[in-house]
Structure formats: C-alpha cells, structure tokens
Structure 1
Amino acid sequence: MRVRNLLLEIGCEELPAHFVTSGIEFLKEKLPQELESNFLPPSSVEVFGTPRRLIAVAYDVPEVQPDREELLVGPSLKAAFDTEGRPTRAAEGFARSKGVSVEELITVENPPGKRGTYVAVKRVVKGRSAVEVLRELLPKLILSIPFKKSMRWGTKRIRFGRPIRWIAAVYGGEPVEFEIDGIVSSNISYGHRFLSPEPFVVEEPAEHLEKLEERFVVADQEKRCAQILDGAVSLARRVGGHLLKDEELLEEVTNLVEFPYPILGSFEEEFLKLPKEVPVVVMKDHQKFFAVTDEAGNLKNYFVGVANIKPVDDSTVCRGYEKVLRARLKDALFFFNEDRKKRLEERVPKLEGIIFHEKLGTMLQKTKRLEGLAPWVAGVTGLGSEGESRRAAHLCKADLLTEMVNEFPELQGTMGKYYALLDGEPEAVAVAIEEHYLPRFSGDSVAKTAAGVALSVAEKVDNLTGFIGVGLKPTGSADPFALRRNALGLIQTLIENELFLDILEAAREAARLYGEQGIELIREAPEETAEFVKERLKNFLKEKGFRPDTLEAVLAVTHDPYDAFLRAKAVEKLRENPEFEATLITMRRVVNIIPEGFEATDFTPQGEFEENLFNAFKELQSKLNKLISERNYTEALLQVSSLKPAVDAFFDNVMVMDRDPQVRNRRLSLLKTIADQLLKLIDFSKLAI
C-alpha cells in the first residue's frame, strides 16, 4: 500500500507558554489515535510547537483506507421475530434502514458490548481516500485542542487559545483543503514574524522544520531549549558564574520564543543586599530572566535574558533589559527598607482586617487556630517543638501585610522568614514560617524542621477541615481553594518525614478550634476531611505501584497516611510469597462468612476444632497486639500465617451456619472475635486473590 507524509501546522497569534505545552501533548496523543481509528495508521508522529504555531508530522500515512467488513447489529432475535418466526416491525425497520431485505439479516451471538442473540447485517465498506478523510478529521482535531482558556474572534463562532491566522495542511506535497470559520487551509506557511515574515510553500512535510530554520524559526522545542541552556550557561561562565538551575523557567522561556538569542546583563551590587530570593523572583516571575550565582551559590549581579530575535546591536537590547530590571529592583529595595520599620509582631493584630474566607473568618482567627493546632500536631507526632510551633504560628501570616509580599505575592513565607530573623526570632521559628507553605507545587520539597512540619501540617488540616466543613469540597475538576493540593501536600509531608498522624483526630481538633471561635462547620466535617485525604492517599500510593485492592484493605482500617504506607508495603512484600497468598485466602474466609451487622456475644468454645482454633487465636492475639503497637506489620502478617492450620481444620470439620441458633451464634462469635483482631491489621475481605 502506498503511503505519504502528513503535515498539519496551526499558525496563530502568540500562545502563552503553557498553552504550547498542552497543545503539543494533545496532538501527540490524539493525532495518531484519530488516524488509526480511521484506518490510516501512521508509522510515527512528531509534534512541535512555538508561541506562533503548533506542528504535527505524521509519517507513512496510507493513501487509501483498506476495504473492510462491517457488522451492523440490530434488535435482539426475540424482538426481531415473533414465536412463529415471522419478522416484526423492528426487523423490517432495521433491514430497511440498512438497505437490505429481511431475508439478508443474519444472527450473531454476543456481539461486542452485548450479550445474547441479535440480528445483524454484514457488509463490505469500501475504503475512502486519505485526503477525503483528512478533510473531515483535521478541522475537528484542531477545534478539540483543550486550552485552559480559549477566546473568540472574528465572527465569534469558534474558540481557540489565540486567534488562528493560517492553517497549513499538506499530504504528500499536496494541500488538504478545508475551512475553519473563513480560514482556508493551504500549503502556505510563514517564517519568523520579524526576521522572515514572507509566506512560503510547504512542499514536503518531512523537510518543513529545516525550511523553517532557514527562516529563523526553531520549531523543535527540544532544540530551542538546548540552544537557550547552552547559550545561557556560556554567558554565565564568561563572568565567572553559574546559571541558577530552574527547569520551570527554562521550559517557559523555550515556549516564549521562536528564535532564541541569550543576552547577558547586569545590575548594581547594592541590590545584592536584598534576600537572595527577591532578585531571583523579580528576574524569573516578572522578567523571565535567568539568575547567575558564584561557586558557593551566592547571587551575582548578572542575569541572562532570552530575546526572540538576533538584534543588530546586543547592547541596545541589554540596556533595555537592565533598565526594566533596575526599576523593579529599586522598588523591591524600597519595600524592604519600609517593611523593616515595623516588626512582624506589630503586624499580627492587623490581620483582623484580612478575610481568610467569608465563612471561615479573618486571617487573625486563622492565626489563632494555628497557634492551637500546630503545638497539638507537634505533641501527638512526637516532634517536640510545641513552643516554637506556637510562636511560628503566631507570626506566620504577618508578612501578608508587608509591602514586599503585597508587590511580590510569590515571596509570602520567604519574606516572613527573613523579617523574623532580622527581628531576632529563633532560627527554628523563622524557618518554620517559610516551610509552612511547603510544598507549593508538585515536585516541590516538603517541610523538614520540627516546627516547620508541625505548622505545615496544621495549615493544611485547618484548610481542609474548614473548607470541607462549610460545604466547599471540590467538585469535578474545579478546586478553587486548592484542597487537593493541600491534601497531597499533607500526605507527602507526613510520609517523607515518617510521621504518624491520625487525620480524623487532627480534623476533629481543627473542628474544635473552629467551634471555639463560633464558626460552625457541619457535624461530619472531620469524617469527610479524613475520607477526602484518604482518596488522595489512594491515588498517591497507586502511582507508587501499590495494588488497588491492597490499598482498599489498608485504608479500611487506618486514617494515618504514613501508617497506611507501612501496612501497604508489608502486604505487597508478603504477597510475593505463594504461601502467604494461601494465608490471605484463609483469612478472607474468616471475614466473609460473618453476616453484616453481626456482633459477637460471650461464648465458650466446644469441641476439638472450636477449642483448637480459640487456643491458637489466644496465643496469637498478644503477639499481634504487641507487633501492631510497634507498627511491625510485616512480622504481624507473618504471625497471622500461624493461624491458618487451625482455621482450615475448623472450616473443614465444622458447619458454621448450624441449624441450631445457639451453635451457630457461638461459632460466628468465635470467628467475629478473630476477624475483629485481624481488622486491627488490614481488612482481609477487600483483598483480591
């Protein structure tokens, strides 16, 4: 079968950096899927993107769909023919709709997605040309690209990330013509907006990237990224420095330019008096510049900006960069000096004027809750930093009232740390102020100091319990208060620091503190909070490779993330042993035979098998309790194996559901007593064998 290469280029006004990433990911996944589902499978697909274009190249796309046999399923056999074998209206209507006679209908057993016998039609579908299919497929694919926000323009009939300006669709050197809201696809593309704005003809899809580079467009984002990084590193070395690593900034800048040109600039050394994070944030978040450090990691008064054009004179662009940066740094230095005129302690009462949430009170009320919850967390987790946690909680929101954080919100917590140190607060308190916001994003580090961990955990428990308690739990993909991120951050903080904390008890303490302030939460707030965290924990541990049924069995018996992690590890480790798998089967029998709602009553075992099982259980019970209290779950599960012979003998020789209600109750009570002990470990009934 003959094949050709396909090119699709969507030219548009400048896309935001993260739009480029999401567009590339979507096309990389969906274009091959759509081609395959239309019987035009490519050998491979490559996707590229710049702020002005998204490009997909599909290689070796067949020129024609293959002829294929298609099965069209109609009504069930019972609905199609009556008891005497005569066709019903359902059969006649189905046959007529498919252009065949009733006599041509066939019967099929269990067709895809259905069970039973149905009537159907088999017909040969002649393959369509690839061009014909692509004319329908490509416009739908373009308009289905999901952007975080889309806009309308022109006739306002369609939505896209930014206005579309041209569409190049070329299959084997020939244009694939279709229209999207007046924009007609063609074989015409464009080079760099300023350096090579003239249109040019796309002749061969496989050569398109090379033709673009001749016109100052580096479409391959990996190549652009390498050019930026190599150039920036080289410029930093020129002044005896090192480029400050920042993968997030590198990806963003890569998607902001089509023809990257790194430029070295500098700023006055007086701005190095500011905390290091301030110039870095100003450079990164406001100017998209890379910072430069010395061997020790200290900031140098240099930066690297990336232009989207090679200027006639580098110094002209550099002066522009320096002028804008200098103004921002002057503002920052002014804010810093103004903030130093007042201690953090003096700002705390004014938190009364900041609303945390209309249903959850002011930021001062939140501070008071954290002053109670952080020491409580420190105490129950054994961190032993109650005093430092309380003091850090008292000051942790005060920097929200500083000029610096007002201008640069990204620095909240960080500026609190520096101001606290300058105020003479203990280092542990200052660091905790910064750490309580951690982790700020996926992949970020978690709090590590004792006071910082306690305050970070308290912050997240307070947020979760409060918002869930007033009915603001996330629904669907919407999560305006970042509760999923709070829950995940809580989980990561506890597991990475190997800390045990019952989330249900923590949420109850948080709810109590809300209640003391007269803020009413729903009665079920602690339970709903614990379940919300457990759902996030389940997903978190699934991504770590744990089996879903293991997690169900573990999370049925504990509200403690780190404890659940240890139990799951123990189960997964022992499940590799075939002998232990047999033990799981046996213990499931114990748990599953007990009727729902049955409660054990006092009993005296009778007969050899009841007595043997009871004695084996009593011997095991004290060992299990000790091992569970020590959280030695691997050994505890191994000890459960010792009960297997007695359980097997019991089930082999005794009728549990005896007709005599007294006998039945005695035997069920014995098994329920054992099951209750097993539930202190895991819920064996939820394990899939």
Structure 2
Amino acid sequence: MKTQNFLLEIGCEELPASFIKPALSFLKEKIQEKLSSAYIPPSGVETYGTPRRLIVIAYDVPEVQPNREELIVGPSVRAAFDENGNPTKAALGFARSRGVSVEELIRVENPPGRKGEYVAVRRTVKGKPAVQILSQVLPELILSIPFKKSMRWGTKKVRFGRPIRWIAAVYGEEVVPFEVDGIKSGKTSFGHRFLSPEPFEIENVNSFIDELESRFVVASLEKRKAIILDTARKLAEEAGGELLADEELLEEVVNLVEYPYPIRGSFSEEFLQLPKEVPIVVMKDHQKFFSVVDGEGKLKNYFIGVANIKPVDEDIIRRGYEKVLRARLSDALFFFNEDRKKKLEERVPALKGIVFHEKLGTMLDKTERIKELSPFVSEKLGFDENEKVKRAAELAKTDLLTEMVNEFPELQGTMGKYYALLDGEEEEVALAIEEHYFPRFSGDKVAETKAGISLAIAEKVDNLVGFFGVGIKPTGSADPFSLRRNALGIIQTLVLNKLSLGLSQILEKAENLYRELGIDVSEGTSQEVLSFIKERLRVFLREKGHRPDTIEAVLPVTDDIYDILLRAEAIDDLRNSEEFDDVLITMRRVINIIPEGFIKIEHLEPEGEYETNLFNSFSEKREELQKLISSGDYRGALLLIKELKPAVDAFFDNVMVMDKDENVRNRRLSLLKTIADELLKLADFSKIGL
C-alpha cells in the first residue's frame, strides 16, 4: 500500500514557554492514536515547536484505509424471532435500517461486549482516503489541545492558547482541507517574524524543517537547546568562568526563541557585594539571563542573554541588556542597604501587620506557634538545639518585611539568612532561617542542619494543621496553599536525613498550639493530617518502586515516616529471596484465622503437646523479635519469624483451632492472638500477596 508523510503546522501569536512542550506531547500522542484507530497508522510521529508554531509530522501514513469487514450487531435472537421462528418487528426494523432482507441476517454467538446469540449483518466497508479522514480529525484535535489557560481572542469564537494565525496541513503534496474558526488550512507557512517574515509555499513535507531553518526558524527544541548551551558555555569560558547550570532556565529560554543567539554582557563589580543569590535571581527571573561563576562557584560580573534574532550589530543588543540589568541591580543594592538599617529582631513586632491567613491569624501568631513547636520537634528528634531552633523560629519570617523580599519574593529565607549573619546571629540560626522553606519545589534540596530540620518540619506541620483545621483542604484540581507539597516536604526531610519521628505527637502539639492562641481548629485535625501525609507517602513509596501490597501492609503500623520506609524496604528486599514464602505463610496462618474483634485471654495456659510447643517456641524468640523490631532490623525480624514455621505447621496440622468447646477454642485463638499481636508490630501481613 502506498504511503505519504503528513505535516500539520499551527501558526499563532507567541505562546508562553510553558505551553509548548505539553502541547507537542499531546499532539504526538493523539495523532498516533487517531490515525491508528482509523486504520491508517503512521510508522512514526515527530513534533517540533517554537513560540510561534506547533508542528507534527507523521511518517508513512497509508493513502487509503484498507477495505475491512464490519459486524453490525442487532437485537438478540429471542427478540428478533417469535416462538414459531417468524421475524418480529425488531428483526424487520433492524434489517430495513441496514438495507438488507431478513433472510440475509446472520446469527452470532457472544459478539464483542455481549453474551448470548444475536442477529447481525456482516458487510464490507470500503476504505476512505487518508486526506478525508485527516480533514475530519484535525479541527477537533487542534481545539482540544489542553493549554494551561485558553481564551477567546478578539472576535474569535473558539478558545486557544493564543490567537491562531495560519494552519498548514499537507499530505504528500496535497492540502488537507478544513477550517478552524474561519482560518482555512493550506500549504503556506512563514519564517522568522523579523528575519524572514515573507510567506512561502511548502513544497515537500520531508524538507520542511530544513526550509524553516533556512528562514531563521530552528524548529527542533533539542537543537535550540544545544545551540544555547554550547555557545553560552564558550562565551562564559572566554570570560574566564563557567556557565552556572540551570536546567529550569534553559528549558524556559529554549521555548522563548525561534532563532537563539547567545550574547555575553557584563555588569559593574560593585554589585558583587550583594549576596550572590540576588544578582542570580534578578538575571534569571526578571531578564532570563544565565549567570557566570568561577571555578569555586563565586559569581562573576558577566551574564549570557539569548536574543531571538541574528543582530546586525551585537553591541546594540548587549548595551540594551546591560542597561536594563544595571537598573535592576541598582534597585537591589538600594534595597539591600536600606534593609541593613534595621536588624531582623527589630522587625518581629511588625509581623503583626502581615496576615498569614484570615482564619489563622497573623505572621506574628504563626511565629509564636513555631517558636513553641520547633523546639518540641527538636527534642523528639533527639537534637540538642532548642535555643538555636527557638531563635531561628523567632526570626524566620522577619525578612518578609524587608524591601528586598518585597521586590524579589523568591529570596525569602535566603535574605533572612544573610541579614541574620550580618546582624551577628549564630550560623546555625541563620542557616535554619533559609532551610525552613526547603524543599521549595520538586527536586529541591531539604534542610540538613539540626535547627533547620526542626524548623522546616514545624513550619510545614503548622501549615497543614492550620488549614485542615479550618476546613481548607486540597481538592483533586486545586491546592492553592501547597499542602501536598508541605506533606511531601515533611516526608523528604525525614527520609533523606534518615530520621525517625513519631508524627502523631507533633501534630497534636500543633493542634493544641492553635487553640491556646485562640484559633479554633476542628477536633480530630491531627489525625486527618496524619492520614493526608500517609496518602502522600503512599505515592512516594510507589514512585520508589515498592509493591502496592507491601505499602498497604506497613502504612498502618506506625506514624514514623522513615520507619515505614525501612519496613517496606525490608519486606520487598526479602521478597526476592526463596525464604519469603516461608515467612509469609507462617505469618498468614497465624493471623488470618483470628476472628475480627476477638479479645484474647490474658493469663494464657497452653495445654497439650502442640499448643505448648508453639507457645514455648514463640516465648524463646519473643524478646529477640522485640529487640530486632525496636532497633529497626526488620529483615532480621522477618527471618526470625521463619524459625517459627515448624511449630506453627505442627500446631495447625494437629490441632483443631475452632474447637466446639468454647474454652478450648478461646485458649487456642488467644495463643495465636498473642503471637499475631507481636507480628503485626512489624507489618499487617494479611495484606501481602505471594
């Protein structure tokens, strides 16, 4: 069968950088899916994109659908014919609707999606041309691209990420005709808006990407990324430094330009007296410039900007970049000097003027709570940092009142650290002020100092308990106060630092602190928050590769996040060995037979050889099992349980547990319940499959 390549280009006003990759991913998946379901599957699909265009190329698309046999199922045989075998109205109506006589109806057993015998029509469907199918599919596909935000533009009736300016749709050499809100598809495309704005006709799908490049449009995201990285690194090296790695900025800049042209500029060394994070944030967040550092990571007074044109005079653009950056950095230096006129501790009372949340009080209220909660966390973690933690908590929010953070909110915590050091605070206190916001986003580092860890956990617990306590909770689509991120932050902080901490006490303390300061939170908030954190932990463990049944077995056992991870690791590690079946069967036999709600006899006196043997075998290992569990040696505990297998097997093989005599039955169940209570301290093995 003959095939042709197919091209779709959607030309539009400049899309936001964050819109492009998701849109291309959607288009690639849906083109493959829709063409395959229409019986004209492509051999492959590639996507390209810039701020002004989204491009899909599908390769080797068959010119025509194959002819195929289609089964059209009608009513059941019982409904189609009466008891004498005569056709009913149902059969006659079905035959008429399909253009056949009743005699041409066939009978089929269990057709797809149904059970029983049905009447049906089998017919040959002639394949449609690919162009006809594409004409039907593409308009809906284009309008279903899931942008973060779509709008109606001008007088247009459809919603799209930005106004659509042209649509090119070419199959082989033929236009795929369709229309989207008055814009007709064709073979016309455009080059770079400034360097090659003239329209041109698409002569060949295979050479289209090269044709764009000759018109100053680098359509490949990966090629633009390589151009930016290679040139920027070279420019940084020529200035005696190296490019500061920033994948997030690189991804954004790649999707801001069609023809990347990196240019090195410089700024006055006077701005290097600022904390280095300040110029970096100014350059990144406000100008989209890359920073240059020396071999030790110290900031140099150079930057790399990426223009979207090949300039006639590079100096003109460079001077423009430098002028704008100097103004920004001058503002930052002014803010820094103004902020230094007042110490952080002098700003504490003014926190009363910042509302944390209308239902949760002010930032001063929050400060009072975390001043009490963070030392409590520190004690439970076994840290001897109470005074440092309390001091860091007192100052943690004060940089919100500084000019620098007011202008550059991204620097909250970071400026607090620098101002604290300049105020003469202890280094541990200053670091904790910055660390208490960690992790700020997915993949960010966590707090590492003892004071920072304690304050970071206290901060996030206070947020969770407060918002949950007044009924503000995440929904499936909305989490405006980043409560999921707060829960995950607690998990990551404990896991990455390998710290055990019982969360129930911490959450209850936070709940009580709210009430003590006059804010009424609902009863049971701490338990609700613990369940929420465990839900995030469930996702975290799955992403780490743990089996779902293992996760369900360990989650209910403890409120210690890191301890739950260790139990899951021990179980899944042992699952890879031949010994696991023996361990699991032993534990299941003991646990599964016990009726729900059974209350054991307290003073157990086993009778007979098999009861006594099982009781003695367990008693010999009980103390060692408890020690292994207490020390976190869960693999050792699991292997110790395996040693009970002979006594357990002998007991079940020779004793009727559910004896008719109630006293005997209760005694034997109590023996098993005594063992089960210890085993369930390790995990709920009834939830683990072989």
Equivalence for 1:635 = 636
Q: Counterparts of 2:595 and 2:76 in 1: how far apart (Å)?
A: 40
Alpha-carbon spacing, 1:662–1:68, altered in 2? closer, same or farther (3 Å) = farther
- Residues 461-500 of structure 1 aligned to structure 2 (within 5 Å): 461-500=461-500
Q: Does 1:626 align with 2:627?
A: yes
Contact 2:583 2:638 (C-alpha < 8 Å) held by counterparts: no
Alpha-carbon spacing, 1:494–1:89, altered in 2? closer, same or farther (3 Å) = farther
Q: Does 1:215 align with 2:215?
A: yes
Contact 1:155 1:181 (C-alpha < 8 Å) held by counterparts: no
- What letter corresponds to residue 680 of structure 2 in structure 1? L
Alpha-carbon spacing, 1:410–1:94, altered in 2? closer, same or farther (3 Å) = farther
Contact 1:166 1:185 (C-alpha < 8 Å) held by counterparts: yes
Alpha-carbon spacing, 1:273–1:115, altered in 2? closer, same or farther (3 Å) = farther
Once the two structures are TM-superposed, the CA of residue 89 in structure 1 deviates from its matched residue by 6.3
- What letter corresponds to residue 354 of structure 1 in structure 2? I
Q: Counterparts of 2:78 and 2:504 in 1: how far apart (Å)?
A: 55
Q: Which runs of 5+ in 2 are unaligned?
A: none
Contact 2:77 2:107 (C-alpha < 8 Å) held by counterparts: no
Q: Deviations over 1:102-121 (max 9, x none)?
A: 66252333x55556666655
Contact 2:8 2:55 (C-alpha < 8 Å) held by counterparts: yes
Q: Counterparts of 1:174 and 1:484 in 2: how far apart (Å)?
A: 51
Equivalence for 1:350 = 350
Once the two structures are TM-superposed, the CA of residue 98 in structure 1 deviates from its matched residue by 4.9
Equivalence for 1:189 = 189
TM-score (structure 1 length as normaliser): 0.96
- What letter corresponds to residue 630 of structure 2 in structure 1? S
Q: Counterparts of 1:437 and 1:414 in 2: how far apart (Å)?
A: 9
DSSP-derived class of the 2:5 partner: strand
Equivalence for 2:618 = 617
Q: Does 1:21 align with 2:18?
A: no
Equivalence for 1:660 = 661
- What letter corresponds to residue 303 of structure 1 in structure 2? F
DSSP-derived class of the 1:473 partner: coil
Q: Deviations over 1:578-622 (max 9, x none)?
A: 232232133223222222222223343222222222222222221
Alpha-carbon spacing, 1:554–1:85, altered in 2? closer, same or farther (3 Å) = farther
Q: Counterparts of 1:333 and 1:491 in 2: how far apart (Å)?
A: 38
Q: Which stretch shifts more, 69-78 or 536-545?
A: 69-78
Q: Deviations over 1:332-365 (max 9, x none)?
A: 0110011001110011111111111111111111
- What letter corresponds to residue 651 of structure 2 in structure 1? F
Q: Which stretch shifts more, 192-201 or 36-45?
A: 36-45
Equivalence for 1:458 = 458
Q: Counterparts of 1:367 and 1:115 in 2: how far apart (Å)?
A: 67
Equivalence for 1:676 = 677
Q: Does 1:595 align with 2:625?
A: no
Contact 1:218 1:224 (C-alpha < 8 Å) held by counterparts: yes
Equivalence for 1:133 = 133
Q: Which stretch shifts more, 272-281 or 352-361?
A: 352-361
Alpha-carbon spacing, 1:550–1:101, altered in 2? closer, same or farther (3 Å) = farther
- Residues 525-564 of structure 1 aligned to structure 2 (within 5 Å): 525-564=525-564
Q: Which runs of 5+ in 1 are unaligned?
A: none
DSSP-derived class of the 1:425 partner: coil
DSSP-derived class of the 1:324 partner: helix
Q: In percent, how many aligned pairs have the same letter? A: 67
Q: Counterparts of 2:477 and 2:411 in 1: how far apart (Å)?
A: 28
Contact 1:108 1:119 (C-alpha < 8 Å) held by counterparts: no
Equivalence for 2:515 = 515
Once the two structures are TM-superposed, the CA of residue 203 in structure 1 deviates from its matched residue by 2.0
Contact 1:354 1:363 (C-alpha < 8 Å) held by counterparts: yes
TM-score (structure 2 length as normaliser): 0.96
Equivalence for 2:297 = 297
Q: Deviations over 1:7-47 (max 9, x none)?
A: 11111100111111211222232221222122221111111
- What letter corresponds to residue 428 of structure 2 in structure 1? A
DSSP-derived class of the 2:643 partner: helix
Alpha-carbon spacing, 1:108–1:349, altered in 2? closer, same or farther (3 Å) = farther
Q: Counterparts of 1:92 and 1:668 in 2: how far apart (Å)?
A: 68
Q: Deviations over 1:191-226 (max 9, x none)?
A: 000111111111222211100001000000111111
Equivalence for 2:259 = 259
Alpha-carbon spacing, 1:392–1:79, altered in 2? closer, same or farther (3 Å) = farther
Q: Does 1:607 align with 2:604?
A: no
Q: Counterparts of 2:81 and 2:455 in 1: how far apart (Å)?
A: 72
Q: Does 1:55 align with 2:55?
A: yes
- What letter corresponds to residue 611 of structure 1 in structure 2? T
- What letter corresponds to residue 608 of structure 1 in structure 2? E
Once the two structures are TM-superposed, the CA of residue 434 in structure 1 deviates from its matched residue by 0.6
Equivalence for 2:329 = 329
Q: Deviations over 1:472-529 (max 9, x none)?
A: 2211121111111111111111100001122233211211111111212221211111
Q: Counterparts of 2:70 and 2:445 in 1: how far apart (Å)?
A: 55
Equivalence for 2:269 = 269
Q: Deviations over 1:433-468 (max 9, x none)?
A: 111111111111111111111111111111112212
- What letter corresponds to residue 635 of structure 1 in structure 2? G
Q: Counterparts of 2:552 and 2:387 in 1: how far apart (Å)?
A: 38
Once the two structures are TM-superposed, the CA of residue 291 in structure 1 deviates from its matched residue by 0.9
Once the two structures are TM-superposed, the CA of residue 271 in structure 1 deviates from its matched residue by 0.7
Once the two structures are TM-superposed, the CA of residue 69 in structure 1 deviates from its matched residue by 3.2
- Residues 316-395 of structure 1 aligned to structure 2 (within 5 Å): 316-395=316-395
Q: Counterparts of 2:337 and 2:494 in 1: how far apart (Å)?
A: 37
- What letter corresponds to residue 292 of structure 1 in structure 2? V
Equivalence for 2:418 = 418
Q: Deviations over 1:147-201 (max 9, x none)?
A: 1111111444211111111111111121111111111111111000011111111
Contact 1:600 1:673 (C-alpha < 8 Å) held by counterparts: yes
Q: Counterparts of 1:86 and 1:362 in 2: how far apart (Å)?
A: 82
Q: Counterparts of 1:94 and 1:558 in 2: how far apart (Å)?
A: 63
Q: Counterparts of 2:113 and 2:633 in 1: how far apart (Å)?
A: 47
Q: Does 1:506 align with 2:506?
A: yes
DSSP-derived class of the 1:350 partner: helix
Number of equivalent positions: 688
Once the two structures are TM-superposed, the CA of residue 81 in structure 1 deviates from its matched residue by 6.6
Contact 1:174 1:203 (C-alpha < 8 Å) held by counterparts: no
Alpha-carbon spacing, 1:662–1:176, altered in 2? closer, same or farther (3 Å) = same
Q: Counterparts of 1:35 and 1:107 in 2: how far apart (Å)?
A: 29
Alpha-carbon spacing, 1:652–1:106, altered in 2? closer, same or farther (3 Å) = farther
Q: Counterparts of 2:231 and 2:462 in 1: how far apart (Å)?
A: 46
DSSP-derived class of the 2:159 partner: coil
Equivalence for 2:244 = 244
Q: Counterparts of 1:89 and 1:671 in 2: how far apart (Å)?
A: 67
Alpha-carbon spacing, 1:406–1:84, altered in 2? closer, same or farther (3 Å) = farther
DSSP-derived class of the 2:657 partner: coil
Once the two structures are TM-superposed, the CA of residue 375 in structure 1 deviates from its matched residue by 1.0
Once the two structures are TM-superposed, the CA of residue 649 in structure 1 deviates from its matched residue by 2.1
Alpha-carbon spacing, 1:293–1:61, altered in 2? closer, same or farther (3 Å) = same
Q: Counterparts of 2:328 and 2:320 in 1: how far apart (Å)?
A: 13
Equivalence for 2:652 = 651
Alpha-carbon spacing, 1:490–1:91, altered in 2? closer, same or farther (3 Å) = farther
Contact 1:392 1:430 (C-alpha < 8 Å) held by counterparts: yes
